[in-house]
Chain A
């Protein structure tokens, strides 16, 4: 009975808190954060469009029979080729379409990595906070050691164990990013535990991890969202980096990292700049979008950073 009422009260609390939240109004008044949000929304639209309307076969397989290879963007001169907005690559595939599809891949695998590590992090953080003492210490300090490693090197080490391939890279990066979420959740969970009302619910006989989930999750939604946003950009870069180094996407897949790899090996010396320029531009702009939004969110959340 006691938990029932407190849950409904809490649920009403979320909506009201959001409406009157200084966090949201602060965020919406931040011009850079709005720019970031627009970039992200734009990329999502492009990605979804590419997923729905582009033929994956045509942009993965060689088109040497049909088109010229390494053709510069059509608008650069030869009018006959104006259908290739971003030019074609070494296998005569349309770079524009590939870049659009790359947006879908980056967001999809970014969501997989960040989503999985958020869920894992929430579980570990809550477990650590709930059981405290030895469990807390061992779990969190192990996470800390993981945090001390640079993400790319750690991911490379894990790839050495799991082997190459996009799905394995996703697993490796999930492990790399989990500690960051675990730490945030644990901090928020400990704060909630300190509050008296949890003591009250526990005293009423609800000593149950479910209680924690119900009370902790609403309270750490904001920090988790900030963390997810900031790490989304990093995760996309790391995903692309691993593909760039040859451990992620397999040949033909229109991933930005792999396109950059091809651009470096095929276009650097000959000056075919469009091979690497456009995929990298989309990657950098997307990451910048997440960083702008995440930064704005952090400033809105953490009054210390404001005057």
Chain B
């Protein structure tokens, strides 16, 4: 029987925990889902960016006349004529406000920086116009590597965590150790490379602006744009119903997006500006490179005595974001003495930004490699060593974990993967074709964060409901998961709930980042639904004509569109009847989702996992292939197993990519990224990706938040990168400490 284009679902019982198909799925599989660049308002013009080919200096001249003369070009926007901004784009008035280039002057701070915008009738004319500008520069010498001269000790790293942390006496711990390992690991600069390039369609009407652009943070974007333009936030309407991936790069508004808005202002017509793929390597963030030195000490019995995780990383010359790679060492392994320290250099590059598992991804590949190196020193199996150093409480703070089913993750992962019989020594295993085989393990971890979110729920007279919050679905399935949570909170079937999202006019749902979105927005919806039900209940209980009259607030349960007496569920009535009798069209509830500050005071809140990887390597040629991955993850309550599994898979592939494939190759002299395209910047193709398995380990967390939800979007990278690195060592006996692992490093 053919499936119709408006698919319906079949489920039993509660929506939460059901593997429902995506609500937005039909739109996506038929090509009807409208992403930002798919919009084409009447009168629209196309804008193309011209970007700098030098990394430092100034633009001395632009051939504006040549660009203007090109048929179809309507206007050229440069620092000379761009509409004024109310705020300097370099003003930092908040922690998540990043300096951007919006044509404020002729300075060049990194290669790929926007230096002009050409606006034309067609995309081709705009693009060619940009080429005809033929910029001339005054170039200065650049610094691009981690050994640059401008070294400093940062106070804060990542999204505002203290850089230095100490617990116990690391030097004493190392001195007293029976065994010591000191190793330095290097991770490259990486770019998010979401498949959807950043895009914006901007349309002005007087002082009101409507913008179609992918955003992981609608409220932030609205505030930032409003501030720059000197307008009240309510004048800015941002629509972001669909994002083609974000991974952090769409969390803050970027210079190019602001330029699209200004271009529309300049020409008085709607403007569409879409970044070309090569323009995604500069103005929209990246993961900064790191060089990490791990020093470990262990006693006779394999117990860690000390752990020092030092990170050198890089930021731009004009703003700070430092990859917080050492954070994993705060939480993963029980050592009586732990220290994490940083230093950093300023480079002639764009400013880094949070990129999927910022800190955890880069830090865990180093830490998990070092742990394995120490396990080898101690003559212990890597799993045995990790269990020996299992942290029952958070090592740095001493706090108990709100939940930690990591032992179950190890146990279930090991059983499914088949770890038994793994030789301790490397280069012992081959397959039937003579390929080297290696097995490696990595522990996965990610903090369970929440931001602050709001939601609104409305029960209507016809018995259906509306749930809305400005949530962001960049592919993680937020729409579906959140709709499930909303439906359950309203005691309704999911098809009876209209779910609205992805629009700045809706309540602020918090940023879709930090794997926090389902918890934040979901709990806001949960409370909004509960609030609406509570108000409905009050109405009913006060009404003599209602079967619920006098039932008492706790004495009522909402199910299937009806309120029922808890003491006698045969007595109840429908939402529709309650509202009709009260003469109301609808009743509204509001809710907030935020972490209760008491929770992090008392508990350490993290998701955990264990990833097991198998790699095969050609012994002579060194080509590597990850052939099997099993990840077992514990992340509290799982709202939608199907969607969660997808997130784990996606994260695991990023982990493979981290270990084996992706890196930005920057020319040291020019500061340009030389592989700024998807042909040479290697993200895994599907033949790189082996059989994948994700085990959803059951975990119940009564503390972290009212729904016990922890995040799943980023954890997949964290154990996997290390597991693959360790598997490569196990296959070859060669310990490569620079990532991605290059073929030539494995030639013996």
State yes or no: do A and B come from one complex.
Answer: no
